[in-house]
Homo-oligomer: A and B are copies of this chain.
Amino acid sequence: MDIFELSRVLNRSNDSKIVLLVADGIGGLPLEPGGRTELETASTPNLDALAAKNVCGLLTPVLPGITPGSGPGHVSLFGYDPLEYQIGRGVLEALGIDFDLGPNDVAARGNFCTVDSAGNITDRRAGRIPSDKCAELVEKLRSIRLDGAEVLLEPGVEHRFVLVLRGEGLGGDVEDTDPQATGVPPLKPVARNPESQRTAEAAAHFVAQAAEVLKREQPANMLTLRGFAQRPLIPTMEDVFGVKTAAIAVYPMYRGLARLVGMEILPKVANLEEQVRCLREHWDRFDFFFVHFKYTDSTGEDGDFDAKVRRIEEFDAYLPRFADLKPDVLIVTGDHSTPAKLKSHSWHPVPVLLAASTCRPDRVTRFAESDCIQGGLGQIEGRYLLPLALAHAERLQKFGA
């Protein structure tokens, strides 16, 4: 029996509302010794005021030292053990272009590449062809037909695309064909288990036909495939936690992650202003809302410390608009840290703020990394956040007599 099973057994319904605001990659690092993190640098009067009256802490998304991708980071915030519910790259790529994967689908990330006359790769990204060229090539590849598997293709950014093989009995465990090197040919798709044999064969036929279609193109005269994966079987948040859930996210990958755990995806929005409005419009229909803010992560990935600070301040400015709806539980956190200093996701714990009339306030008066160390929630694994949200919403019954 773990926290997940306990929550499943103990949850109960009431008319409380929970709002989870995820500022992606919000945790950071100082650029220089003795300096401040992005959050510590930003002026965040609204977050600080909320922190002062409520309870803070730090979340370890997976386990100490582990840097999560977006998949594990979010799965953990949604209350699932990220080590148990793993999401393959192909699936995440498909989610990232709003492709709604079904149970008979195997998704893979595709890259156009350049090969020489001997078939050896000279550029693994085909010179990063423009996205419209990618779309044009994908359209040509759509002519490919396979026995026993439907081929679905969607273009992505630059040299990237998504391949979905749809059919009965297609396993998801196939090795990458991208050799991660130049001067060698693409690898053959190899099944890692008998259930994936037909998938590997279908992929091989697809690649052979694609090579024909692309052979006169330059520079994108070949392709590689990686991250073959099937949509994981995840019980919905409603099943496990007893909450009707909705997602309000600008970017498709986060809508996709929300869809995997059974959230209803609310209409497309472009910014925080529209996210607030969308939340207000659908307020009565759901118990739990996931609101995603991307730019604290993308500015961190760009290594743009100042831009990340500004994005944090933008996010802070909208906080009262969310709070005005008076959710019973309002949570602010991130799915992981993305320090501008590292230009990537990192393993550092993520500040979390939980506001509820039922919380036990601590002495934290500033929503920032060093302050949250002293927070009343302590340093806990991300997967404990959702049960804590339910508890503060009085949605978990007593355990034991």
| Partner-B contacts on A (CB < 8 A) | 1-3, 6-7, 10, 29-30, 33-34, 37, 53, 58, 62-72, 82-84, 86-89, 92-93, 227, 342, 344-349, 358, 360-363, 369-370, 373-380, 384, 387-392, 396-401
Contact = CB atoms under 8 A, between A and B. Distances in A.
A69 B399 contact: yes
Contacts of A83: 1-2, 6
Q: How many copies does the complex hold?
A: 2
B65 A53 contact: no
Contacts of A227: 401
Contacts of A82: 399-400
A65 B390 contact: yes
A378 B389 CA distance: 22
Given A72-B399, A347-B396, 17 more contacts: A1-B84, A6-B83, A7-B65, A29-B360, A30-B361, A33-B361, A64-B377, A64-B387, A65-B387, A65-B389, A65-B391, A66-B396, A67-B397, A67-B398, A69-B399, A71-B400, A378-B378
A174 B64 CA distance: 39
A400 B80 CA distance: 14
Given A66-B399, A376-B373, A396-B66, A347 B391 contact: yes
B398 A69 contact: yes
A148 to B, nearest CB: 27
Contacts of A34: 53, 361
16 contacts: A2-B63, A3-B66, A6-B66, A33-B361, A62-B399, A64-B387, A64-B391, A65-B389, A65-B390, A65-B392, A69-B400, A72-B399, A87-B400, A93-B401, A347-B388, A378-B379
